[in-house]
Amino acid sequence: MSGPGSMASGAAAGSADGPADAARAPEQALFPPGFSVSEIKNKQRRHFMFLRWKQQQRKDKLANKRKRKKEREALGDKAPPKPVPKTIENQRVYDETTVDPNDEEVAFDESTDEFAPYFNRQTVPRILITTSDRPRGRTVRFCEQLSTIIPNSHVYYRRGLALKRIIPQCISRDFTDLIVINEDRKIPNGLVLSHLPDGPTAHFRMSSVRLRKEIKRKGKAPTEHQPEVILNNFTTRLGHSIGRMFASLFPHDPQFIGRQVATFHNQRDYIFFRFHRYIFKSEKKVGIQELGPRFTLKLRSLQKGTFDSKFGEYEWIHKTLLMWSCYCLAGKVG
């Protein structure tokens, strides 16, 4: 037999007795450091040795755990704090494009970019919602529900019109934003959000769309009050501009009487949209109840001008194959 070393062949010979040997197998010399299970050519024996090795590992791990626990208890109060498990959020490398709230350059940029008129309350948002050609039932209903959520929005169906021709008409009729919901195989799967007087265009991939009737424990229909907006976790420059884009969809003065809130929560580059009604039970407790549709967005590209797929100047494109370009909206992972 081709045994790698004397120890190993001893162990291999020991294993020839089979499981009966395992009971009295000496623990210390069984797996010397130089030994690797993969060097045994015989499959059955290799398998057996591997199982034994696994058992050994498990025993070691358990023993270590118990020892550590005992040490902790022995130390009592002086024990060092438990180590925090690593999550992606913990491991984020500080992204240098993170927006600092007091940053002057960012503030200056924002006062002169395309959303400035909205944030200065010079314009009132007016949204046009449309779809791709020939929308099917789900998409139609989704558009209707969206239009009830976003105040001051209108749904128009596109019958074969080119987007490039729609856009000047929209601008002439004073629309500030255009939302196009792309449909594939009867479900909506893409969203193009374009800020109209030549603002940026963002193209998202939409997933897990739930209409109102599919939401469990939902409340009554959303009322006409203007909702509040919550934007979570849009920290980098790119995230910040996307966040402003979302904020400019809703009117600037929410009506708190309506107690409705629309949330855009960014987590690991997925933007979750929810629409809730809240109630303050006490000053430390609030209850929320979900109404309205929900969906998830993932940014695919951000374009400088209005929608133009051929000649547009792309500010950012998602590259699927580049692993290190992930988590761009909130920060890279180290």
Partner 1 sequence: MHSDDVVWDSLGNKQFCSYKIKTKTHNFCRNEYNLTGLCNRSSCPLANSQYATIKEEKGQCYLYMKTIERAAFPSRLWERVRLSKNYEKALEEIDENLIYWPRFIRHKCKQRFTKITQYLIRIRKLTLKRQRKLIPLSKKVERREKRREEKALIAAQLDNAIEKELLERLKQETYGDIYNFPIHAFDKALEQQDAESEAESDTEEKEEEEEDEDADKREFVEVDESDLSDFEDMDKLATSSEEEQDDKSSSEEEEREMAERTCHSKSKGKAPVKGPARTKRAYIEIEYEQEIEPASKSKAA
Query: Where do contacts with partner 1 occur on this chain (CB under 8 A)?
Result: 87-89, 162, 207-208, 217, 219, 228, 230, 232, 256-257, 261, 263, 265, 267-270, 272, 274, 276, 278-284, 286-289, 296, 298, 320
Q: C-alpha angle 222/227/233, rounded to 5°? A: 120
**CB closer to partner 1, 176 vs 260:** 260
Smallest separation (angstroms) from partner 1 to the CB of 139: 16
Nearest distance from residue 287's CB to partner 1, in Å? Answer: 3
In angstroms, give the least distance from the CB of 304 to partner 1. Answer: 21
Pick between residue 51 and residue 161 the one whose CB is nearest to partner 1: 161
User: What's the min distance (Å) between Cβ of 325 and partner 1?
Assistant: 14
Q: How far apart are CA 275 and CA 141, in angstroms?
A: 16
Task: Give me the least distance between CB of 269 and partner 1, in Å please.
Answer: 8
Cβ proximity to partner 1, 113 vs 308, nearer residue: 308
CB of 124 to partner 1, least distance (A): 21
**Least spacing, CB of residue 280 vs partner 1, in Å:** 5
Cβ(264)–Cβ(296) below 8 Å: no
CB closer to partner 1 out of 28 and 208: 208
The answer to whether 286 touches 278, Cβ cutoff 8 Å, is yes
CB closer to partner 1, 40 vs 329: 329
Tokens of 324: 């290190």
Q: How far apart are CA 329 and CA 246, in angstroms?
A: 14
- Minimum CB distance to partner 1 smaller for 31 or for 327: 327
> In terms of CB distance, is 43 or 216 closer to partner 1?
216
Can you say how many angstroms the Cα of residue 251 is from the centroid of all Cα atoms in its chain? 26
Nearer to partner 1, 108 or 256 (CB): 256
Least Å distance between CB 85 and partner 1? 12
Residues pairing with 191 in the sheet: 181, 204
